[in-house]
Structure 1
Amino acid sequence: MSRRQKILATLAILAALFAFGVVMFGAFVRLSNAGLSCPDWPTCYGQVTWPGHAHEIARADAQFPDRPYESGKAWREQVHRFLAGSLGVMVLAIALIAGWASRWRRWAVMLAAILAVGGVSCYMHGRFEPSALLSVGAIGLPLLAGLSLPAAAAQRLAIVVLGVVIFQAMLGMWTVTLLLRPVVVMGHLLGGITTFALLAYVALRMAGVGGQRSVELQAQRHWVAVGIVLVALQIALGGWTSSNYAALACGTDFPTCLGQWAPPTDFGAGFTLSRGIGVNYEGGVLDMAARSAIQIVHRIGALVVFCYLGWLSHRLARRGLRRHAVAVALILLLQVALGVSNVHFGLPLPVATAHNGGAALLLFSLIATLAALQRPLNWARDGHALVQP
């Protein structure tokens, strides 16, 4: 392993850990109803940080009369932006190292960063069309550079993740400008989880996880991949539940809903993705029947995931992957307990935040299992790129 490859592996590990922290803090911000505590983006009431002095607060209230300043919430939103920006810098460094051997990929990554900064600048000055064009270029360049790299999947993804992070920043902007539109909030959650998942996979593979050559064990990758898809879909359902304020739509009843096995529901309204521009979704706009429908589907999804991952854990344990099987099973049980506790105790903030973290850890346990089932990396040099036999 070359010095640059060691640096890449170390950075990927640090970035994955940092991304998990950003996901957790983002959940804390959303669940504490602080998602619109800064009505502008990327500034907060026109400031780089947030108003702190009396005259700054007075100016903020005068500038945004429809969104009075709340000192207990604004700092949460802006600190989350700082953390996300720091993660973006780390991902940029990872992408540069991963593509450094190729001149055009190196310049593609740097140009993507420049276009992203230009897009933010145009947006802040009200030039929305140029901002959108620059942002599309900033997202597309890392995707093109990474996917065309003749190297192991981990190194390609190390570049691709930069495009994901830039798109995630756009989702963060739209979360504010579109007033917590549920499909955007759900997408923002998925973007954060995707960033964490990609960085985790890169970190695991670069750190040397893998090496199963057994045909029987490698055949289990397909079953693990199905588990990853199911968990991702359930996370999306969880994001939809949260963004529509449907977590307590069934009251504190479990497994029944509002004391019934079949309460009034409106699945059509509950799963309408778009309701027009200009609607403020803070607090939710759906009636109880629509929210109950969302909550019931989320519970059904949880049951499907529980059954499948329980079967998968048993299958993996019987084939010698006992540690991975136990990890998946334990995190699965913890996640179910947190979900039930959310309902029973009325969605306490620490439990709700931990439930988001549990979802990320459950996905990580499956990604770690998938990485362990991959063929070993061959650290041979091919234009300074990793090759996989």
Structure 2
Amino acid sequence: MSARALLSPARIAAFATAFAFVVIVFGAFVRLSNAGLSCPDWPTCYGKATWPGHEHEIEHANANFPERPVETHKAWREQVHRMIAGTLGLLVFALALIAAWRRRVLVAMLLIAALAAAIGVFLYIKQEYAASALLSAVAIALPLLAALRLDRAAPWRIAVVTFAVVIFQAMLGMWTVTLLLKPVVVMGHLLGGLLTFSLLGYVALRLGTTQAPTAQQRRLQPMVIVALVLLAVQIALGGWTSANYAALACGADFPKCAGNWWPMTDFREGFVLWRGIGVNYEGGVLDAAARAAIQIAHRIGALVVFGHVLATAVLAWRRGLPRLGALVAALLCTQVALGIANVKLLLPLPVATAHNGIAALLLLSLIALLVRVQAPPAPSPAAASLRQAA
């Protein structure tokens, strides 16, 4: 295979999608192993580009951050996650530049956005929060404007939009640390990672798809979109459950919760999104009733998602897409089994991490199904003119 084929936009997007999956799974591992605050500063870790490892480095770090003694076995996880997330950002930036290539104004907008984001991070470290926020807003807005002005098919515009999402995702990663694991920020960070993964997957699949669907397959599109929406809501509920340490609110009891079909719950308290600033949410701050409400909501959501997504998979099978239908059904059943195992086995780290990974793959399988029931992307006006001239 030639170097040009290896560096095709579809292959770069596919590689970035795979890399985003690694970031998601490793991020889940970091969060579930309670290492989310193992580096109290950002983007450095105890002031280092890596993390304290030698005895004198640990002593120096403990002196500067007495409220958060160094736990080396956790600190490396958090900092490595930041490093691979940064690498993903560079891949997404490269893909956005490819999408906007030969449009000098748009390329310039993307370069300015990258520079604004970098300066914004530097100012944040210097505690110039207002200036940092302004530059971050500019860095996010410029790729969105560039995508609006790009006269290419939807996958190319989405590639540019993804760069804006990655910049915002970096901000959420920063706020996750500086706002002490605030649940709404932790959940947003999870959703931002999955959105990045989904957009990259959509770009890769759309750029690599040329087969047109049948009329019956196209009629499946609304059902697939509903499945994606329901799954996104359920993933958000899962993120909220994890961020509020409510995964074991029912103990090891399933399908009942703490010995009851409907235990004492407090939904109002359980779903307060904003509780102010300055609270350390590590370990959770909610009482048992509020955590039980979150767990019950997640279980009800799982039942709804299971029914609709399974029906979608069966219809896909019947309408000439047996492989995709079987893949969606298999991932769905695996995800449900992992969710039950999380409860019955009291949240073992490998099972809990796999639960996050399979959720991402289930999301990607539904996106693949959506791409398959859509018409292939139309060429840009410039490409159409070249084809007609030839």
Query: TM-score normalised by the shorter chain: which range applies?
Result: over 0.9
Q: Which residue of 2 aligns with 1:110?
A: 111
Shift of 1:212: 2.4
Contact 2:151 2:381 in 1 (8 A): no
Q: For 2:15 and 2:73, locate their aligned partners in 1 and report how far apart those are by CA, in whole Å.
A: 30
Unaligned runs of 5+ in 2: none
| Corresponding residue pairs, total | 385
RMSD: 1.9
Contact 1:147 1:160 in 2 (8 A): no
Q: Which residue of 2 aligns with 1:321?
A: 321
Shift of 1:233: 0.5
Contact 2:97 2:107 in 1 (8 A): yes
Q: For 2:174 and 2:385, locate their aligned partners in 1 and report how far apart those are by CA, in whole Å.
A: 35
Q: Which residue of 1 aligns with 2:233?
A: 233
Shift of 1:122: 0.5
Q: Which residue of 1 aligns with 2:36?
A: 35
Q: For 1:383 and 1:250, locate their aligned partners in 2 and report how far apart those are by CA, in whole Å.
A: 58
Query: Deviations for 1:152-177, whole angstroms, at most 9, x for unmatched residues?
Result: 11111111100000000000000000
Contact 1:4 1:97 in 2 (8 A): no
Contact 2:313 2:325 in 1 (8 A): yes
Q: Which residue of 1 aligns with 2:15?
A: 14
Within 5 A, what are the aligned runs for 1:294-333? 294-333=294-333
Q: Which residue of 2 aligns with 1:119?
A: 120
Q: Which amino acid aligns with 1:134?
A: L
Within 5 A, what are the aligned runs for 1:351-362? 351-362=351-362
Report SS of the residue matched to 1:171: helix
Q: Which residue of 2 aligns with 1:134?
A: 135
Q: Which residue of 1 aligns with 2:173?
A: 172
Q: For 2:384 and 2:80, locate their aligned partners in 1 and report how far apart those are by CA, in whole Å.
A: 38
Query: Deviations for 1:21-67, whole angstroms, at most 9, x for unmatched residues?
Result: 00000000000000000000000000000011111111111111110
Q: Which residue of 2 aligns with 1:146?
A: 147
Report the CA distance shift for 1:215/1:43 in structure 2 as closer, same or farther (over 3 A).
Answer: same
Report the CA distance shift for 1:149/1:62 in structure 2 as closer, same or farther (over 3 A).
Answer: same
Shift of 1:18: 0.3
Shift of 1:310: 1.2
Query: Deviations for 1:193-237, whole angstroms, at most 9, x for unmatched residues?
Result: 000000001111112x25324232212111101101111110000
Q: Which amino acid aligns with 1:89?
A: L
Shift of 1:241: 0.1
Q: Which amino acid aligns with 1:366?
A: L
Within 5 A, what are the aligned runs for 1:1-389? 7-207=8-208, 209-378=209-378, 382=382
Report SS of the residue matched to 1:40: coil
Shift of 1:311: 1.1
Q: For 1:102 and 1:218, locate their aligned partners in 2 and report how far apart those are by CA, in whole Å.
A: 34
Shift of 1:248: 0.2
Q: For 2:385 and 2:233, locate their aligned partners in 1 and report how far apart those are by CA, in whole Å.
A: 33
Query: Deviations for 1:244-288, whole angstroms, at most 9, x for unmatched residues?
Result: 000000000000000001110000000000111000000000000
Report the CA distance shift for 1:210/1:254 in structure 2 as closer, same or farther (over 3 A).
Answer: farther
Shift of 1:378: 4.9
Contact 1:339 1:355 in 2 (8 A): yes
Q: Which amino acid aligns with 1:23?
A: I
Contact 1:150 1:385 in 2 (8 A): no
Query: Deviations for 1:339-388, whole angstroms, at most 9, x for unmatched residues?
Result: 0000000000000000000100110010000111121245577169999x
**Stretches of 4+ aligned residues off by more than 3 angstroms:** 3-6, 377-381, 383-387
Report SS of the residue matched to 2:361: helix
Q: For 1:381 and 1:291, locate their aligned partners in 2 and report how far apart those are by CA, in whole Å.
A: 54
Q: For 2:126 and 2:381, locate their aligned partners in 1 and report how far apart those are by CA, in whole Å.
A: 46
Q: Which amino acid aligns with 1:10?
A: R
Report the CA distance shift for 1:386/1:255 in structure 2 as closer, same or farther (over 3 A).
Answer: farther
Q: Which amino acid aligns with 2:219?
A: A
Q: For 1:179 and 1:26, locate their aligned partners in 2 and report how far apart those are by CA, in whole Å.
A: 16
Shift of 1:150: 2.1
Q: Which amino acid aligns with 1:340?
A: I
Q: Which amino acid aligns with 1:197?
A: S
Q: For 1:4 and 1:113, locate their aligned partners in 2 and report how far apart those are by CA, in whole Å.
A: 27
Report SS of the residue matched to 1:382: helix
Greater mean alpha carbon deviation, residues 157-166 or residues 314-323? 314-323
Report the CA distance shift for 1:386/1:349 in structure 2 as closer, same or farther (over 3 A).
Answer: farther
Query: Deviations for 1:324-353, whole angstroms, at most 9, x for unmatched residues?
Result: 111110000000000000000000000000
Unaligned runs of 5+ in 1: none
Q: For 1:11 and 1:231, locate their aligned partners in 2 and report how far apart those are by CA, in whole Å.
A: 27
Contact 1:109 1:141 in 2 (8 A): yes
Q: Which amino acid aligns with 1:317?
A: W
Contact 1:98 1:158 in 2 (8 A): yes
Q: Percent identity?
A: 60
Shift of 1:145: 0.8
Q: For 2:380 and 2:151, locate their aligned partners in 1 and report how far apart those are by CA, in whole Å.
A: 13
